Amino acid sequence: MSGRYAPSPSGDLHIGNLRTALLAWMFARSSGRDFRMRVEDLDRVREGAERRQLDDLAALGIDWDPPLVRQSERRVVYEAAVAGLVARGLTYECFCTRREIAEAASAPHGTPGPYPGTCRNLTDEERAARREERPAALRLAAGTAEFTVRDLLHGEYTGAVDDLVLVRNDGVPAYNLAVVVDDGAMDVDQVVRGDDLLGSAPRQAYLATLLGITPPVYAHVPLALNAAGARLAKRDGAVTLADLHTLGWSTADVVAAIADSLGMAARDAAGMLAEFDPATLPRAPWVFVPPAPA
């Protein structure tokens, strides 16, 4: 049994990311699970970001169990999972652009949010014609419209399942496929992440069942927000560990601020773990305002 944290090395982690990582680590360690680290590097990768992210996590006091997993090294595993779904007739080619999907969802009888299944029932002739226009993505032909997951903070949550993308039209395995395959391979049965991803849990859990993987138990934790109430981002100023250091904050100060945001008295990761109780976690988002330059 394992928990995990899975950063994408597109840049430095901000304090909200670090807070979620600490929570994932505490959920796992307090329940006797291993804690695994996975670098989700199938998409944008900024040089040096992986090393800085891992160094920042270690500086906070987070440890993880080997091996470190990189998605870029697992393409053959994703391809095998997709091949199995194709062989079972559970996929179809999709030629829709993002604009076409948005327009279908906004039509008078469109379904907002989930993919409306535009390409699901194309004829062979129609598919052949569309292949001449653009390369196809590969979608799951979902057999249900909704699925229920168990969340430690939100209880039983039922959400929409659509024909999610498995392979993008550039041949890259899609996030929803890779994360499900990896969690299964890494024996991850507990997923802790930001509550902005709660809506994606049902489709991922449903895909897991099709792949013979037991869906994990989730804990979708409140996000860190900026002063305007929007999700915290690096553009909000001094929000990364390095930036906060330049303003005079030590790493210990950052950990203490995260502890305060969680209502904890401890001042370091080890103390936070000893104090950790999921039942006492705040359910509201944390508004973080970067300190003013000295």
* Residue positions annotated with a catalytic role: 234
C-alpha dihedral, 195 to 197 to 199 to 200, nearest 10°: -150
Task: Answer whether 215's CB lies under 8 Å from 209's CB.
Answer: yes
Q: Is 234 annotated as a binding residue?
A: yes
Give the tokens for residue 15: 């304090």
Q: Is 224 annotated as a binding residue?
A: no
Distance CA 171, CA 138 (A): 9
Q: Are strands 165-167 and 286-287 parallel, antiparallel or unpaired?
A: unpaired
Whose structure tokens read 């904050």? 249
Q: Which amino acid is at 290?
A: P
Distance CA 258, CA 95 (A): 44
Q: Is 36 annotated as a binding residue?
A: no
- Strand spans (E) along 64-194: 69-70, 91-94, 137-140, 146-151, 155-160, 165-167, 190-194
Q: Is 126 annotated as a binding residue?
A: no
Distance CA 174, CA 32 (A): 31
Task: Answer whether 182's CB lies under 8 Å from 174's CB.
Answer: no
Q: Is 157 annotated as a binding residue?
A: no
Q: Is 206 annotated as a binding residue?
A: no
Q: Is 200 annotated as a binding residue?
A: no
Q: Is 92 annotated as a binding residue?
A: no
Alpha carbon of 87 to those of 1, 80, 91, 133: distances in Å?
Answer: 30, 11, 9, 26
Widest distance between CA atoms in the chain: 67
Point out the annotated binding site for L-glutamate: 4-8, 40, 175, 193
Show binding-site residues for ATP.
Answer: 234
Residues making up the annotated binding site are 4-8, 40, 94, 96, 115, 119, 175, 193, 234
Annotated binding site for Zn(2+): 94, 96, 115, 119
